[in-house]
Amino acid sequence: MTHRILPLLPARQALLGSALLWCTLFSEDALAARKASVAVVGAHLDGQDEAAALANLEALSAALESTGRLDVVPPAELKRAFAGREALVLEGAFLGPGRQRLAEGRVLYERAEFDAALEPLAAAVDALSNATLHTRDNRDLLDSLLLLGLTHFSVGAEAEAAAVWGRLVVLDPARQLDAVKYPPKLVRAFAEVRASRLKEPRGSIRINAPEGAELFIDGRPTPADVPDLLPGDHYVLVVAPDGRREGAVVEVVSLKRASWTPALENLRIAAAGANEGERRVQAAQLYRSVGEHAGASFVLIAGGFGDGKIGLQLYEPRTGNFSKLAEGAGGSDPVGAMVDVIPTLAAFVDDAGALRGDRVVPNALALDIGSNPWLTRVLLDPEPMTETVTVTRRTPWYVWAGVAAVAAGGTAALALVLTKDEPTTVDPGGGGDGGETPEPVDPNQGTVVLALP
């Protein structure tokens, strides 16, 4: 029998070549040589301006790189990673704890474990009420009020249910219960509370904000004068053109006009928690949200705490773990002290690029999340970003696929502009005789434009 060896078709050759390439790129040796990446977003220190914050970020980055265990993501790449996602990062940072408690309460309510559901739902209302002062999204607060009222009603506490639903109607007068989803008794009870609140004479708010500022009341865009609001507490948020923001709870009284003037003194993500526990929660949620969008193996958490101490941690988004604290005395040079303890911190990462199991703790460092000017500027007042990259048509398919994946992964707009297949020429002299010699244009060259809003 004669065996024939058939030549590979060009398409099969390309497929085989690509497979060999990927095998090479992701062989055990190649993977072993890769280091974990770390996003450095600055340090939380009192009194530093933006220039000092950037210098501190660069010093921490250089110290981490010098350990040889971690690759630092450059600040420009971090800005691109956050571009268009700043609001998502902030929502995750502020709404995260409340959303978690709301989810717990919803599960218990749906299991008819009403008594057990009361505590997490009440905690969700408190957490989301505070978060509403920093973000424009109040949908979770509205849902938590509705569900808490339903739970009170289900255990026979109708007065408590009416009080909670009354808050909901003040914030969302259009809300009604779906008669298909809820039993008639619940629908009637909620409708009675709503009708009673809607009969109350309205009041108004005047917001004295800078020109060009965005104004929000109860999560909705609003003009400076709002003459038609139900009496009760309303959540007001002002976002200045330069990113400064401030929120407040303003009480509206029937037939009266309330007035509020935001201070807008500093560009701050939020005021620090009143105690160490609150600051730990704030820092944990901020860095969980940052880690979700930074695209790195770790995020560095660095700052001052306690009585003149400095501390550093690594947050690992893949596992949700925080490393143990590497700390020292801040003294007159807190960033220098941080640099000194970075080798200790880097040793918390094992050879596989993950946090060592014996170096994991459940808590974040208690930080003032508003004392990091670099991160604050990136999230609250981001710079428009556009990047143009010239590539060739000969560029392998996996590079084009990677560019497309980058664009698809965020809010980037992707435009591929390629020349025609035929060689073309450009006549700098304007055409005709006497012009300069035309220069050939490479038909394989093209441009990728990534516009990041």
Amino acid identity at 233:
D
Q: Could you tell me the CA-to-CA distances from 139 to 63, 113, 132, 136, 193 in Å, in that order?
A: 43, 24, 10, 9, 20
Distance CA 430, CA 435 (A): 7
Helices 50-66, 334-346: crossing angle, 10 deg rounding? 30
User: Which parts of 121-208 are beta strand (E)?
Assistant: 203-207
Give the pLDDT score at 271.
Answer: 82
Q: Give the model's pLDDT for residue 266.
A: 79
CA dist list (Å): 57 to 64, 247, 299, 303, 334: 11, 29, 13, 11, 12
Place of tokens 């105690």: 275
DSSP label at 254?
A: T
Range 200-268 classified under CATH 2.60.40.1120: yes
Task: Output the pTM of the full model.
Answer: 0.71
Q: What pLDDT, on a 0 to 100 scale, did the predictor assign at position 147?
A: 98
From residue 64, give the alpha-carbon distance in Å to each of 59, 72, 258, 363, 416: 9, 7, 52, 22, 37
CATH class of the 36-84+270-380 domain in this structure: alpha beta
Cα-Cα-Cα-Cα torsion 94, 320, 143, 157, nearest 10 degrees, comes to: -110
Nearest of 90, 89, 85, 92 to residue 412 by alpha carbon: 85
Q: Which long-range contacts (CB under 8 A, 24 or more apart) does 247-255 make?
A: 247/132, 247/133, 247/134, 248/133, 249/133, 250/205, 252/203, 252/204, 252/205, 253/203, 254/200, 254/201, 254/202, 254/203, 255/201, 255/202, 255/203
The pLDDT score that the predictor gives to residue 361 is 95
Looking at residue 40, its amino acid is: V
Binned average pLDDT, 10 residues per bin, the chain of 453 residues? 46 47 44 75 94 96 95 95 92 91 97 97 94 88 97 97 97 95 95 97 95 93 93 94 90 96 86 89 95 96 93 96 95 95 96 95 93 93 63 51 48 40 42 47 49 44
Q: What is the pLDDT of residue 97?
A: 87
Q: What is the pLDDT of residue 161?
A: 98
